[in-house]
Structure 1
Amino acid sequence: MKRFVSMLLFMSLFFTMFATVGQAAEVVPKLFLNGNLLTSAVNPQIINNATVVPVRTVSEGLGYQIVWDNTTKAATVTHGSNIIKLKLNDNIALVNDQKVQMDTTASVIKGTTLVPLRFIGEQFGLDFEWKATEKEVHMYEHATEPTEPVIPTDPAVPTGLITEVAYNGESTLTVSYEGVSKANKPLVLDSPKRIVFDFPNTGLNTFLSGQAVIDVTDSTYLQKIRYSLFSNSPPTVRLVIEISEDTGYVLTEDLGKFKLTFMPLADVPVDPNLPVDPPIVIDPQEPPASNDMFDVVIDPGHGGSDPGAKSVLNRWEKEFNLSVALKMKALLDKEPKIKAHFTRTGDTYPSLDDRIKFAENLKADLFMSIHANSGAASASGAETYYYRENSKALAAVIHKRLIAATKIKDRGVKKEAYKVIKQTTMPAVLIEAGFLSNSNDAKMLFDDAAQTRIATELVAGIKEYFKVK
């Protein structure tokens, strides 16, 4: 308890002093995590007398996963069973579904989410040290106090050292090393789409900095490359490569060198040693031919602890999504050739993985996720998203019907890697029926007659796609 009180006293003094310095001289501090310099496209800022820092930079430095949902304008940080949700322009965070007030709102600058440093310290369990002379903020993970005496051991010595990370300006990235090094199986993440490689028992040559960022311009495949000494025990180097959609790669290894060659996904060669099933060719413009029952999954977005976007009418997106879905249910239940299944029929929150698993287990013929948008007050209109080619024809039909129902601006059919339409395998679409942040759109979306029109047209679109009379 004494250590905790001392920590609070220090943090109070630190934030007061730092805010004063920031107002007088606009000092931009350097951020260090466990001794490693953290770099980001956006520097720490002073907002409403509170110091805010890039949450992705800190969380990824700790090995946490962070995902940005452009639909809800929210960032989700995951570490083990702990989940932190931060919403744009909101000073209330959800920590394991419990509301926590922050010193100031979460904000986005140049595409980077910034949150109060005090909140980072409290929720990520970090200690702070302010070095006034150097104008540096040092963050440290809490050391675990052993319950029994521990015999000191020498620090682990890496078996390999990375000596160079080189990008040729086109489609090849080369990682050179000395000694013995292996790359773990890569992790592919979204928002932004990136590939994460860890090199265990590997350190960085003294000529390389603790963390470096390579911005890539004019590349078809790459957006950004960054690497760092991710962990000291055991020594681990992490390489993160932000890539464009529909980008694949081939990893080749040679003595002292890893070579990544990037290319369109369709051009990635198939391992000849893997068994290959006979190809099944389906015309993406035509729905599956069948005289049997069609299984359709309707997914009312958000729900429960995740309310989605808030409208200018002080009502939540989850209400609109569910209301339209239930109106669709009443109509679909009367269709003899369509069996409707719903990811939720009440104010509950199935996770995105639960929704995907639900549709996959049913071997559904179609998946539709219902949402409403949010943005600037002037933004208006409806749009329909798809990801895979087998969903493009469905998106065109559904969007035509959506515009007929809403009678608002046509923002078009768009391709986007939203998880529920990317990781499902059946034709899948996600609709954004209008902008809750626009007063005209919001009034229409929460009008019962308009919701009935939307439900009726969406059901008609499903029937049109399946050519059901």
Structure 2
Amino acid sequence: MKKSIILFLFSMLLLMLIPMHTHAASHQTKIILDGQELVLPNDVEVVNVRSNIMIPIRVVAENLKFNVKWNQKTQNVNIEQASTAISLTVGKDQATVQNNTVQLNIAPQMIKNTVVVPLRFVSEEMGLRVGWNNKDKIVTLTSNNGSQPASPSHGNDAATNLVHDITYANNQLVVSLDREVAPVISTLKNPERIIVDFPSTNFGNMGQVPSGGSMGRLDVNEFPSVTDIRYSLFKNDPPQVRIVIELNNISSVNYTQQTIAGKFILDLSMANEPAPAPATPVNSGKKIVVIDPGHGGSDPGTISYTKQPEKHFALALGLKVQALLENEPDIELMMTRETDVYPTRPERVKLANDLNADVFVSIHGNSVPAAPQISGTETYYYQRESSKALATLIHKNLIDALGFNDRGVKNGNYQVIRETTMSAVLLEIGFLSNQIEEEAMMSETNLNKAAQAIVDGIKEYLKL
């Protein structure tokens, strides 16, 4: 009897030990950064939270030479490197990047005393190309300065890309992806269709993911030239996402494609598309320019180093631009505001679109209170080449006139430049959070210089 009990206890001990060892080995995760495996501290790992791949932000940021600060009381992580400033808070699904609010598909979480963030955030906001090998639990990250690493491969998992969002507006199909991929594009007749196939791609954290064999659809009621936009997982092994754009009474269509900041953009140019009539009569031969001093009224904008609201700076500069443009015989000017009032962003967009304006310029001051040393001028456009051309000309004139640090011309997803249909730019003249730059921006001399630079850039773009 005693011998049987001893054998039973020994067998149970073996059963307890063997599964524990197997479980640990099967769930081991790795992070490969620029071809080198990162050393993860004990209990730090890549985790899957509600189908979202989450990675430890401190390990990645510090290996990229970012300065990481953790506030235990507020549960906040600040990440800084040169002019880059990122702020994340555990439990909050919004982050701050360069003083702009960014929506996260899932909030950062504290797991085993480590803050983990969604892999998509790392891709979009820290400028990394990412890959996820689900079979072997390996994350590959490639920085702008690093060479593309050879992704550990088993089957097709290592090469699988993910689609996170599909939108259509202003004759543009925009697909948000984990990393850049070259789709295969084809057309069909009767009816006219454009087919976009993304190889080795599956659906990621989308709001509506079509299940096995079914199709998802975009709402196209506002687009008379489009009958239907549908998407599906066209193949399983390897995975392939297909998007079909079915056009309405279009005899022919041309398209251009580009990839910007993880977004694939298909820009359509369609024949027989009805042109929208302007809402108000336009003075023949004159170019219509809309100047938009940002914020106003109940919306102060950001706060400067000396605690002044951005809206006052934007209006002061906007009124100086107005005074100069009113002297231009070939320009018809419209202001979104001339006093301390707050037109909503949709109202600003509607004003410019209803006027069928040629140029839209939104004026702002930048701010990163957490990093008051950051300075310089940056100019934003949204995707359209015409907007980029306008942004480049105004930006060059501003840099020459003010001599601030050149932070470049950038693609930005701001509503007033995204939803306007003409050449549109958003100007961040300088950093109000920088003591020296705020003083320079608010001086009468520099306000006059900045106004003249904006007007010169507009005239140069319009060839006046």
TM-score normalised by L of structure 2: 0.50
Larger Rg: 2
TM-score normalised by L of structure 1: 0.49
